[in-house]
Structure formats: structure tokens, C-alpha cells
Structure 1
Amino acid sequence: MNTTEFISLMQNTATIDAAKTAELEAIINEYPYFQLARAIQLKGLNNTNSFKYNQALKKTAAYTVDRSVLFNFITTQNFEKNTVTAPIVKKDVDVIPTPIVKETPKKTIETPKSKPPKKTSSEVLEIGKPLKFKNTEPHSFNEWMQLIAQKPINRTEVSEKKTAKSNKISLIDKFIEAKPKIKPVNKNTVNQDISPESTSENESLMTETLAKVYLEQQKFENAIKAYRILSLKYPEKSGFFADQIKAIKNLQINKS
């Protein structure tokens, strides 16, 4: 891909197809910090409904200085629009008319229609499909970006942690030798519930996108809880959410 082609894609991102997306991936492999190329590649993956989109979004965010710019980009209407290429029609071609031949009607034997194959749990849940964030869902976007925070193992840090651990052990030994006394708890102290249930997601932030984020992260229990909350928020879709919960439970059984 030359400079002219790249500029053309930058100006007309809706025209990016699978072939152009593959070319962009080659550019990114050579220039991993080329943020614009990564953003345009995301558009191509979204256009083609690629299973690579969700992971590419994480990588793009990792290489992006300001993630709010990326969030604004992927939630624009132009980003969500996918193009459908029109069929190529050849002109100036001589068409030879085919003679019309009358045929006697033949008796047809109706064969019983076969039922369409039953969808798997992954297909029902649409796992692997590009996540569609709305501009009102920064919380869902940030939740999806959580796993980027993991850093590669630093061997020097590991050795330093071992040293720090041995120092802590010696401090514990000194603490035991001192024989400290535990003071009784003040009855007037207000206890706070810090259990996972009490620190759960705010129900007002719960969306279908966030539920899909939990599915992609394989946080199945969180996804089930999300769909239950959504079922109460939107009773008109309770049947759909019940089917999603059922599919998640089937997926859990198959994975166990």
C-alpha cells in the first residue's frame, strides 16, 4: 500500500474491505506505534464484522495516548456504517437472446423441509462479534479495557519482591516477639459492608453492551447478573434476556 492509497482510505474509511484491512495489518506490524493506521484498521474490521475486532480494539487502546479520542471515534455514526459493494455491471456487451422453449409442466414431489440447524450457545450469545459501544457507554468501554493493564514480567522486579517478602517476614517475627495486645472494638463504630455484592456495578450503568463485555471476558456470573438486572429494567425484553441467561449456563456446562 502506497501513500496515495493510504490517504484515500483515510478519507473514505467506509470503503475498507477485508483485503485493505490485511494490508493495513502489514503496515501496523512494521510500524506498531502508527496510531492512525490502527484506527483505520479498526474501521475495516468493523466493516467486515471480523472476530479480530475486539482484540484489535484493546491493542489500539494500548497504543493510543488519549483513549477518549479513540472512544469518540468508534462511537461515531460514520464508524458504525458499513458499506455494501454494488455488483459490477459490464457495458457494451452483445447479448444474444435465448429462444423461448415451452415445456410441459412436470409433477413435482414436495420433500419435507429440513429444520435449520440449532444454534450453539456461542452463536446465540454472539460471542466474538464486534462490540458496539454507544457514546453514552464510557463505563462499558473502560470495563473492556481493563485487561490491558497487565504488564510483562520484569525479572528484576521479581527478585526485589522476594527481598521485600523476606523483610516482611522478619518484621512479622519482631511483631510476634513484642507480644502486642489487641484493643477491643468500639461499639459505636459503624461497620461498612465491603463484600463483592455491596461493591457491585451500579444498576444505572448496566447495559447490554456491558453484559456482552463480561461474556467476551468470560466473566459468566457477571454476565448472568447483568442480564437479570436488565430484565428488571426492561421487562418488555425479559424473554430475550432469559434466553441469554440460559445460553450462558449451557456454555458454562460445556466448558466445565
Structure 2
Amino acid sequence: MVNLDTNKYIQLLEKPESVSTEHSSEITAIIQEYPYFQSARALRLKILKNQESYKYNNELKITASYTTDRTVLFDFITSEAFKEIPKKEEKLSIKDKILPKKKTTEVEIIEEDLAIGKPLSFNQNETFSFNQWLQLSSKTAIVRDNTNVEKAQKEEPSIKSEYDAIIDRFIETAPKISRPSKTSAPDIKVAENQQSNQLATETLAKVYLEQKKYDSAIQAYKILSLKYPEKSGFFADQIKRIQILQNNK
């Protein structure tokens, strides 16, 4: 049984900027006990982002697959509270960071320069980039484990009501959060085959890089070079690095 301090948990939901590494084990334990506890998964995302953990990008997809309304998740990860890092953040454990290694090949150096594996950072205008990152997992169904259901049914009523109260409180107090209706779409709707000047961003280019869609990443940087001629030199260098990756993969 997870030892949960209800008041403390509610405080973390109301002020996610206060979530730090010291809460990691407790929140992870909650997720293990209650895999479909969406708010706990969102808080775990915040911890991984604080740490700049290589696990963050994949965890974002997993969290989205457990989220009923992904616009809620998008609002959360683009909020100022999510982006704010606690002043006294603990150092990463060996398990949660990529150990430094000597760069011995050109490809390794280029991957480092392109920040491949670093947490993706979206802003509120990048719904297209967000949707592109989630598209590989958008059609993956969640297979519910019946043992978890049976376990929940055997729990004491007081414990169940405690968790219900936390969820209800979170829904009532969190901004822009509401129970999804039967007619609401679970995904952010965007034209997936459209890449206009407005949709192309550096984050989108990084999304394509993480997905190894090198041609799409190059095209995004070409559009950005036209949009921001003052940074055309930087974008040209990025394109050259990507082309080297293409030739070595």
C-alpha cells in the first residue's frame, strides 16, 4: 500500500513548480500502485523535465496514452509552473542521467551538438509539434490489467474514497481542466500533412530528429531559415549535421 500524504499531494497538484527530485520515489510508487492515476504521471513528467532526463521524451508519450484529454496534458507541459525549476534541485541519480562518455566519433559529437535525447520543450503555439511527437503512440491501445482492477475492488472503502477525493479536488482547482464529454475529441486536431511557415519551429525540427525523420527535419530548418534570415547560418549548420547523420546511419 502506498503511503500517501493527501494534503501534501494536493499541494503538489496546486503548485507543480514545487515538485522536485525528493518526491520522485513517492510519486513513482503511486504510479506503480495506480497505473491510471493521470495526475501522478503528470507530476512524474515534471520531475524528469527538472532533471533534463533522457527518459522524459518517451515518458511524455506514455503519459499521453494514459490521458483522457491530451489538451489538458498540453496545457500542463506548456505552463509556466511546469517550466519553472526548483532552486534546490537534487543531482540526478546514475539511473536518471546519461553518464558522460568520451566522444570518439563524428556522429556522437553531432548528436551531442543537435541535443538528440534531450527533453523536448513545447510552447503554447506548438500544438502541431506536440501532436507530431505523439503520433507514433496515438493509435496504441492501453491493455488494462485485470489484476489491477480486482486489486482496486478489494481495497478498503476509506482508501478508495481518499484517492477519489484527491482526483476530484484536482479537477476542481486546476485551471483549464474539466471532465471530458462523450463528444470531445481526445487528441489535438491539426492538419498532420501541412507544414506551413507558421507550423515550422525549432521544436518541430527536433521532434523530427528524435523520430529519425531526417528529411522532414531538414525541410523544417529550411523553412526556418527563410523565416529568420538572421539565424540562417545556424540553421545551415544544423542541416549539415543532419546530412552527416543520414550518411552514417
TM-score, length-normalised on structure 2? Answer: 0.66
Q: How many Å apart are 1:128 and its aligned residue?
A: 1.2
Aligned length: 182
The answer to whether the Cα contact below 8 Å between 1:125 and 1:244 also exists between their aligned partners in 2 is yes
| The structure with more helix, counted as a fraction of residues | 2
Kindly indicate whether residue 248 of structure 2 is the aligned counterpart of residue 248 of structure 1. no
From 207, 217, 220, the counterpart of 2:211: 217
Q: Distance in 1 between matches of 2:230 and 2:85?
A: 29
Counterpart in 2 of 1:204? 198
- The alpha-carbon distance between structure 1 residues 32 and 86, as it changes in their structure 2 partners (threshold 3 A), is closer
Deviates more, 1:78-87 or 1:218-227: 78-87
Rg comparison, structure with higher value: 1
Q: 1: CA distance between counterparts of 2:23 and 2:128?
A: 32
Question: In the TM superposition, what whole-angstrom CA distance separates every residue of 1:128-178 from its partner, at most 9, and x where no partner exists?
Answer: 1111111011111111110113437x9xxxxxxxxxxxxxxxxxxxxxxxx
Residue 131 of structure 2: aligned partner: 142
- Contact 2:121 2:203 (8 Å CA) reproduced: yes
In structure 2, what is the Cα distance between the partners aligned to 1:21 and 1:253? Answer: 40
How far apart are residue 47 of structure 1 and its match?
A: 1.1
* % same residue: 52
Partner of 1:30: 33
Does the 8 Å contact 1:13/1:44 carry over to 2? no
Larger RCO (alpha carbons 8 Å, 6+ apart): 2
SS at match of 1:236: helix
Structure 1 residue aligned with 2:18: 15
Q: Which residue of 1 aligns with 2:223?
A: 229
Where does structure 1 differ by over 3 angstroms across 4 or more consecutive aligned residues?
116-119
| Amino acid in structure 2 at the alignment position of 1:249 | Q
TM-score after normalising by structure 1: 0.64
Cα distance in 1 for partners of 2:34, 2:248 equals 41
* Distance (Å, rounded) in 2 between the aligned partners of 1:73 and 1:149: 19
Gap runs ≥5 in structure 2: 91-102, 144-192
State the match for 1:2 in structure 2. Answer: 4
1:60-99 equivalences in 2 (<5 Å): 60-85=63-88
Give the RMSD, CA atoms, in angstroms.
2.5
Q: Is the 8 A contact 1:61 1:70 kept in 2?
A: yes
